Homo-oligomer: A and B are copies of this chain.
């Protein structure tokens, strides 16, 4: 037995999400970072690698070089998979190249720059026989898994209404003009895609909602707005939604909601009960019932009423809060489990199948492109 070996593309000095992926991968001691092409700027890549205590020969100046050289290393040494943490426009080329070179892929979201790319990538994943994970990290929270389980088990009855919100406030002013790196690429159509807010965080809301309810969004009516003058992509969007079973809902995302830090929140109303989860207090799942007092579920209890998956996604006893990184780490440790099964030539364990994959990537890209069109055309559009 050995640790699974990870390479990384992107995530050099000054980046945000690269560090998140590294901490998430490291937490459970199942994965080790062995190499990286951390920046398209060779010097920055080298410096980043050194900070991460990587040997100089495993720090590359491009992903092409990395895949080529890693592929030639002996089995006991070369990386097993690549983590892609670049801006959106680079997701597809890197993922595609990694698969061609025989490496599994763990990609930040959205999967690609366009829906077309996502569909192509799905084909390539399928053809390759390799594994592809997508870090829709909010699915990694134990209480989100519990919510999914409660819906699936029928505990709250048929879903009627959903409300998915994702407010942030960090783009309430024209920060990209100041050169802030995170803001700059996220508001740049050339690097972010056709959408700003909906692509960056609206997709998280969409994914969370479909993950928990197990229902597809079938139609959307969107109203997107760019509030900050000079910004090139929308920074706020309100969307009416219809789900496949006749349920209705509201989904909104915003980056100009002053004072909101990072607020994904989901409410699911069924015929017998309802669920409420707020990422900023992630260790609570509030369950409201038709005919009995509301309950507040927390992870780590010994009560025996949680699904196994909630339990296996929790590291600590009740009352020891786990957060964003732990949820993110749940995706990585699940991906490591999948890779171990793959290495052993076994089928992926049932419980690991909740890891978002390229199909979720396609859903996300469809969502992005459809809400942009719906808002422009002022029309309900199918998803």
A residues near B (Cβ < 8 Å) are: 1-3, 16, 19-20, 22-23, 26-29, 33, 50-53, 156, 160-161, 163, 165, 168-170, 172-173, 221, 223, 225, 227, 236, 238, 240, 248-250, 252, 254, 256-263, 267, 269-274, 279-283, 287-298, 300-301, 303, 305, 315-326, 378, 380
Contact = CB atoms under 8 A, between A and B. Distances in A.
B319 A325 contact: no
Contacts of A225: 248
A322 B319 contact: no
B169 A290 contact: yes
Given A27-B27, A172-B290, A261 B223 contact: no
A8 B310 CA distance: 29
Nearest to A378: B380
A223 to B, nearest CB: 5
Contacts of A283: 280, 323
A325 B317 contact: no
Given A156-B258, A259-B274, A294-B295, 17 more contacts: A1-B53, A3-B53, A20-B316, A23-B29, A23-B315, A29-B52, A160-B236, A221-B223, A250-B250, A258-B269, A258-B274, A258-B290, A259-B287, A293-B301, A294-B296, A321-B321, A321-B324
A262 B317 contact: yes
Given A236-B248, A240-B240, A260-B274, A303 B292 contact: yes
Contacts of A173: 290
A223 B238 CA distance: 13
A183 to B, nearest CB: 12
B292 A305 contact: yes
Copies of this polypeptide in the complex: 4
Contact of A250 (B29, B252, B258, B294): B252
A283 B263 CA distance: 14
Contacts of A300: 261
Contacts of A293: 287, 295-298, 301, 303, 305
Contacts of A260: 274, 288, 319
A294 B326 CA distance: 24
A317 B163 contact: no
Contacts of A254: 161, 269
14 contacts: A23-B315, A160-B227, A161-B254, A169-B269, A221-B223, A225-B248, A238-B250, A257-B269, A259-B269, A261-B298, A261-B301, A262-B319, A293-B303, A316-B325
A378 B219 CA distance: 13
Contacts of A322: 323-325
Contacts of A23: 27-29, 315
Contacts of A256: 160-161, 269
Nearest to A28: B23
Contacts of A321: 279-282, 321, 323-324
Contact of A317 (B53, B170, B274, B295): B170
